[in-house]
Amino acid sequence: MNIIDGKMLAANLRAEIASGVAKLKEEKGIVPGLAVILVGNNPASVSYVTAKEKACVESGMYSREIRLPETTTQEELVNLVKELNVDPAIHGILVQLPVPKHISDKAVIDAIAPEKDVDGFTPINVGKMLIGEECFLPCTPHGIIKLIEFSGMDIKGRHAVVIGRSNIVGKPVAVLLARKETNATVTLCHTGTPDIAKFTREADIVVVAAGRPDTLKGDMLKPGAVVIDVGVNRIPDETKPKGFRLVGDADFESCSAVAGAITPVPGGVGPMTITMLLWNTLESAKRVK
Ligand code: NAP
């Protein structure tokens, strides 16, 4: 059984991105810039945003972190996004979700200029992805495709089962797997699927993005399947310094006994999500005329 090392793949790609950044600086004098906006103090969001800023600086990009109080209004946030849309030093804008409940995430996402939407969340980029036009691919789904390829599995002609149909993970992963370039046959499962195991037992690839521990167990897998575990769940654990440990959506012990390859949590999908964000930011800066 092979553990798919997301950290290693991310490090390889980040080295490539860093040399792309250096080249762009040298040839065109452009430094890719990413603005990361965080509203409030959600602990998971704070740690994601910190990791994104660090990765951005390490790759030679310009990072502008904007931390706003929980009391920020929707209008203030939308106005800030609009300012960043026309700021020439910024090539990518990321608003860390979830935003506080009094702000509509749709209103904020809609305000981001599609050419700076390095998260790939605006309806324009989602639509372009669906019809196969050039666009910013959403980071987690794009990273998942890279991880499956890195596992050594040739995706073409394989049966892939995706568990979860969110707009940021499940649905776009299903679309990317079914594209002609990737050519998998895709089954999308969710809470309305009566017997998920019936599908996963037939699958060569299982992507689980349900946000619930133990959604996938070893007895639900076909021997040799590739498992991509997207879930990040905090389980209280007093033996850990932070008082919790992270687990995925797959039961690692039973799944790793049956799977041919599996991503760990942490160290699988997470590092790839940030890497694909850097990738999109560099692409955005390269497009500047
Ligand atoms: P989400 O918006 O909560 O969506 C979860 C999806 O899973 C929903 O479509 C839900 O179905 C489905 N689902 C929930 N329980 C299920 C079950 N028992 N059986 C079948 N389907 C089930 O979550 P998300 O944003 O997609 O994120 C999923 C997980 O990935 C979370 O743990 C999140 O933290 C993690 N994540 C990690 C990264 C990373 O970079 N590592 C990035 C994004 C997300 P319904 O639609 O029917 O409700």
Cα 105 to Cα 80: distance, rounded to the nearest angstrom: 14
Domain boundary among 100, 115, 130: 115
Q: What is the domain count for the chain?
A: 2
CB of 189 shorter than 6 A to ligand 1: yes
User: Tell me, what's the pLDDT at 88?
Assistant: 98
CB of 210 shorter than 6 A to ligand 1: yes
CB of 169 shorter than 6 A to ligand 1: yes
Kindly state the tokens that stand for 2.
Answer: 């092979």
The answer to whether residues 145 and 263 belong to one domain is: yes
The answer to whether residues 157 and 53 belong to one domain is: no
Query: How many angstroms is it from 43 CA to the middle of ligand 1?
Result: 19
Q: What is residue 161's three-state secondary structure?
A: strand
User: Tell me, what's the pLDDT at 56?
Assistant: 96
Q: How many CB atoms lie within 10 A of CB 133?
A: 10
In angstroms, the first-to-last Cα distance of the chain is 47
The answer to whether residues 153 and 195 belong to one domain is: yes
Q: Is residue 228 part of a domain?
A: yes
The answer to whether residues 143 and 266 belong to one domain is: yes
Which CATH number belongs to the domain containing residue 81 in this structure?
3.40.50.10860
CB of 140 shorter than 6 A to ligand 1: yes
Q: Which atom of ligand 1 is nearest to the CA of 165?
A: 9
The answer to whether residues 154 and 43 belong to one domain is: no
Q: Is residue 286 part of a domain?
A: no
Q: Full-prediction pTM beyond 0.85?
A: yes
Contact 280, 32 (CB under 8 A): no
Residue whose Cα lies nearest atom 12 of ligand 1: it is 164
Q: φ, ψ for residue 266 (rounded to 5)?
A: -80, 175
| Catalytic site includes residue 74 | no
DSSP H or E stretch at residue 288: none
The answer to whether residues 197 and 243 belong to one domain is: yes
Q: Is residue 132 part of a domain?
A: no
Kindly state the tokens that stand for 204.
Answer: 């060569």
Cα 152 to Cα 146: distance, rounded to the nearest angstrom: 10
CB of 271 shorter than 6 A to ligand 1: no
- Residue of 96, 97, 137, 191 to test ligand 1 pocket, by largest number of atoms within 8 Å of CB: 191
**Is the torsion defined by CA of 142, 79, 33, 286 positive or negative?**
positive
CB of 275 shorter than 6 A to ligand 1: no
The answer to whether residues 151 and 234 belong to one domain is: yes
The CA-atom distances, in angstroms, between 37 and each of 45, 48, 78, 270 are: 10, 11, 11, 19
User: Tell me, what's the pLDDT at 289?
Assistant: 81
The answer to whether residues 181 and 110 belong to one domain is: no
Total residue length of the chain: 289
Burial grade of 289 (CB within 10 A; 0-12, 13-18, 19 or more): exposed
| Catalytic site includes residue 52 | yes
Residue whose Cα lies nearest atom 41 of ligand 1: it is 270
Kindly state the tokens that stand for 288.
Answer: 């500047």
Give the residue ranges of the chain where pLDDT is below 70: none
The CA-atom distances, in angstroms, between 152 and each of 113, 202, 220, 273 are: 36, 19, 22, 20
DSSP H or E stretch at residue 277: helix 269-286
Which domain range does residue 42 map to?
28-115
Q: Is residue 123 part of a domain?
A: no
The answer to whether residues 256 and 148 belong to one domain is: yes
The answer to whether residues 145 and 233 belong to one domain is: yes
The CA-atom distances, in angstroms, between 285 and each of 21, 31, 33, 116, 289 are: 9, 8, 8, 9, 9
Which CATH number belongs to the domain containing residue 187 in this structure?
3.40.50.720
User: Tell me, what's the pLDDT at 29?
Assistant: 97
User: Tell me, what's the pLDDT at 46?
Assistant: 95
Contact 125, 136 (CB under 8 A): yes
Query: How many angstroms is it from 269 CA to the middle of ligand 1?
Result: 14
| Catalytic site includes residue 119 | yes
